[in-house]
Chain A
Amino acid sequence: MKLSEYRSILKQRFEIVQASCLFAFRKEVAYAGNNWAGVISATAYTLSMLLFVNIIFGNTKQIAGYSHNDMLLYFYVAQLTYFTNWYLSMINIHELTVDVNQGHLDMVLTKPVPALFYLTSRNIGGFRFFVEAFPPTLAIVFSINWPALSISPTNLVYGIFIFIFGAISLHVFEFLAALPVFWLGESENIVDLAGFIGAGSGIMIPLEGFSRPLQFALGTIIPVLISTAFTTSAVLGKTSSRFLFLWAFIIALIAVIIRKLAWNFAIKNYTSASS
């Protein structure tokens, strides 16, 4: 493929994302009264988690090599993972399962857009991401004693990339959980299970708290540790950031390839709900 063709593909995708963001924003603000409940629930959850961390560290200095302050940073990254995953990935995945179940996918597949890209980016909840994530994460930001953390700029850059690769891998893991809908007709619960493993189990325990085999399994086969546990570990320099970067990059690359292959296979078996 020529460079100009790549450029036109990128341009088209950028335009789709741009239009989708505006489209999603309009949908989000169509029900402004509903959004405040989300803000309150996210803030309540964060405050209860802060309390929980404080109680845990009331009796001990360190857990898995993490001090109270390190743990707050871990919790901060975990919250970012949750919000990124929910508003950039899960909303689209849930919508995909509903569309396949009810046959609305027909209307999407006849649009001149790259179907997989469009379906996984059409509902980027930017506005709600900002509104719901901002107040609770701000509470954590103010709880962290930043000067006490030893973060090097290199580790920070590696950490940002690991976080992005982790978000991609997690998205693919959840996306694959949604695909049985093409055969079974419904996969909401399977997606929820994947979401629970990813955004639940994957953000509760730091990387160093797992045994080696579990680190490998949850960082490779079910890649739920990358975006939170790998990132925090790399940023704090607890494990080689370069090593974790490479690991995360390879997993994300394989995940993207698997996503494409799985999608092609699923769409070929699409039977379209009866009309």
Chain B
Amino acid sequence: MNHPIIKIDRLQKDYSVKIKQSFWKNAFFPKYKAISAVNDISFYIDRGESVALLGPNGAGKTTTMKMLSGLLYPTSGKVDVLGFFPFDRKNEYLKRIGLVMGNRSGLAWDLTPNQNFELAKKIYGISDHDFLERVGRLTEMLDVEKFLDKQVRKLSLGERMKLELVASLLHNPEILFLDEPTIGLDIISKQRIRSFLRDIQRESRITLLLTSHDMDDVKKVSDRVIVINHGQIVFDDSMPKLLRNYQDKKYLTLVLTETVTSKVIEKFGKIVDKKPLSYTIEISKSGQSKNCRYHGKFARRRYRHYSRPPGRNYRRHVHRQTKLRGYRFSLSILLLNTTVTAISVSPNHIEKFFAPPTI
């Protein structure tokens, strides 16, 4: 029988956000409203599991991870990690977890990785024997032995991230929290880190909790996926099931400059999210050819050499093109093999946008 080592029950985290007012009102009588970053979520994670938290930017993944690692105090709900309330930040708890953040550095920039590791050795009370064995083994696995005596600020992002991973594993933690560990890395470094994490997880039965926007990270490193959106869990199951459920659908978010009735939008797909000036529609596979013709044709014309969806270059190009045509393209991200696109369109142009292109 499995024993959960992470237990979350009805967890909530609200942030207080300043309401926009006039300059003087803002300066002397500021008003705030509460915004839920994490809204009533519950899940359990067993020892040795590798779990990914997925979701768009601002969904609440990192906030959840920060509450689990004791950085943020929850507004309400229960959190139990390894039998501790994380925010108490007891030494016995902190010695059993590790944290790696893709866009934060735990290593001092002015020193070498070796000097940083020595400080960690003192802080975590690692014996000489274990320290030498772990540094040797981990650096060999990641092929970074040659960078141990180079100043951290002179390392490339990939080299630094690998050494951050080594630093986070020196004390042999039971749980490793990874917040976008491969962000900004080249494909080779990403692959190396993914296979390293998988090997480490299988070898030492460490529990991994990962957040990432990169689907390959999730596929290669995690067995279970929890999808969070608007602070709530919308999916919690295995990776293959997630792909089966969602890969056929595309989600398109339209950010409008003026209000439009739902009826106009419904013609293009099922409305799954509605805000005063934005709609997110779900477009089934059959509807994609009709509704996304503009994108499809555009992509085929400009990027015939791409065998897969062309990613950033394509989006940048669409951005430029749509701008020229009077549309303002705001954001496009790839999630779960389905495209979530935020596009700002004027209501008069909405029909035209979905219509076949004239180019």
* A, B: real partners: yes
Chain A residues engaging chain B, CB cutoff 8 angstroms? 15-16, 18-19, 23, 26-27, 30-31, 103-104, 106-107, 109-113, 115, 268-272, 274-275
Per the bound structure, the CA–CA distance linking A16 and B103 in Å amounts to: 26
Quick one: which of B70-105 are within 8 Å of A by CB?
70-73, 89, 91-92, 94-95, 97-99, 101-105
Decide: B104 and A275 in contact? CB cutoff 8 A.
yes
Decide: A30 and B104 in contact? CB cutoff 8 A.
no
Per the bound structure, the CA–CA distance linking A18 and B121 in Å amounts to: 13
Judged by a CB distance under 8 angstroms, whether B48 is at the interface is no
Decide: B103 and A275 in contact? CB cutoff 8 A.
yes
Partner of A27, one of B98, B99, B110, B124: B110
Give the most central of B97, B103, B115, B123: most A CB within 10 Å.
B123
Decide: A112 and B91 in contact? CB cutoff 8 A.
yes
Shortest Cβ-Cβ A-B pairs, 7 listed: A112-B94, A19-B122, A112-B91, A107-B106, A30-B110, A112-B95, A110-B99
Decide: B179 and A275 in contact? CB cutoff 8 A.
yes
A contact residues around B179 at 8 Å (CB):
275
Decide: A106 and B66 in contact? CB cutoff 8 A.
yes
Q: How large is the interface on B (under 10, 10 to 19, 20 to 34, 35 or more residues)?
A: 20 to 34
A contact residues around B103 at 8 Å (CB):
275
Q: Mark B20-55, 1 if CB is under 8 A from A, else 0.
A: 000000000000000000000000000000000000
Quick one: which of B101-130 are within 8 Å of A by CB?
101-106, 108, 110-111, 115, 119, 122-124
Partner of B71, one of A15, A27, A112, A270: A270
Q: Shortest distance in angstroms between A20's beta carbon and chain B's nearest beta carbon?
A: 8
Decide: A109 and B89 in contact? CB cutoff 8 A.
yes
Decide: B66 and A23 in contact? CB cutoff 8 A.
no
Partner of A26, one of B66, B94, B111: B111
Q: Shortest distance in angstroms between A256's beta carbon and chain B's nearest beta carbon?
A: 20
Decide: B101 and A111 in contact? CB cutoff 8 A.
no
Knowing A16-B123, A30-B151, A115-B89 are in contact, say whether A104-B94 is a contact too (CB < 8 A).
no
Per the bound structure, the CA–CA distance linking A199 and B179 in Å amounts to: 41
Decide: B115 and A26 in contact? CB cutoff 8 A.
yes
Judged by a CB distance under 8 angstroms, whether B236 is at the interface is no
Partner of B104, one of A26, A107, A113, A271: A107
Q: Shortest distance in angstroms between B205's beta carbon and chain A's nearest beta carbon?
A: 21
B contact residues around A112 at 8 Å (CB):
91-92, 94-95, 123-124
Decide: A110 and B151 in contact? CB cutoff 8 A.
no
Judged by a CB distance under 8 angstroms, whether B212 is at the interface is no
Judged by a CB distance under 8 angstroms, whether B62 is at the interface is yes
Per the bound structure, the CA–CA distance linking A274 and B73 in Å amounts to: 15
Judged by a CB distance under 8 angstroms, whether B145 is at the interface is no
Partner of B99, one of A16, A107, A113, A269: A107
- Nearest CB in chain B to that of A12: its residue: B91
Q: Can you list 22 A-B pairs with a CB-CB distance of less than 8 A?
A: A15-B122, A16-B122, A16-B123, A19-B123, A26-B115, A104-B104, A106-B71, A106-B99, A107-B99, A107-B101, A110-B70, A111-B94, A112-B95, A112-B123, A112-B124, A268-B73, A270-B71, A270-B73, A271-B72, A275-B62, A275-B101, A275-B102
Per the bound structure, the CA–CA distance linking A18 and B71 in Å amounts to: 26
Knowing A16-B123, A30-B151, A104-B104 are in contact, say whether A110-B94 is a contact too (CB < 8 A).
yes
Partner of A109, one of B15, B71, B105: B71
- Nearest CB in chain B to that of A109: its residue: B71
Per the bound structure, the CA–CA distance linking A23 and B95 in Å amounts to: 20
Judged by a CB distance under 8 angstroms, whether B64 is at the interface is no
B contact residues around A19 at 8 Å (CB):
119, 122-123
- Nearest CB in chain A to that of B121: its residue: A19
Per the bound structure, the CA–CA distance linking A106 and B115 in Å amounts to: 20
Decide: A109 and B104 in contact? CB cutoff 8 A.
no
- Nearest CB in chain A to that of B102: its residue: A275
A contact residues around B119 at 8 Å (CB):
19, 23
Q: Mark B243-263, 1 if CB is under 8 A from A, else 0.
A: 000000000000000000000
B contact residues around A103 at 8 Å (CB):
104
B contact residues around A270 at 8 Å (CB):
71-73
Per the bound structure, the CA–CA distance linking A19 and B103 in Å amounts to: 26
B contact residues around A18 at 8 Å (CB):
122
Q: Shortest distance in angstroms between B25's beta carbon and chain A's nearest beta carbon?
A: 18
Q: Mark B147-191, 1 if CB is under 8 A from A, else 0.
A: 000010000000000000000000000000001100000000000
- Nearest CB in chain A to that of B108: its residue: A27
- Nearest CB in chain B to that of A108: its residue: B106
Q: Shortest distance in angstroms between B340's beta carbon and chain A's nearest beta carbon?
A: 20
A contact residues around B111 at 8 Å (CB):
23, 26-27, 30
Quick one: which of B195-250 are within 8 Å of A by CB?
none
B contact residues around A23 at 8 Å (CB):
108, 111, 115, 119
- Nearest CB in chain B to that of A123: its residue: B108
Per the bound structure, the CA–CA distance linking A269 and B75 in Å amounts to: 11
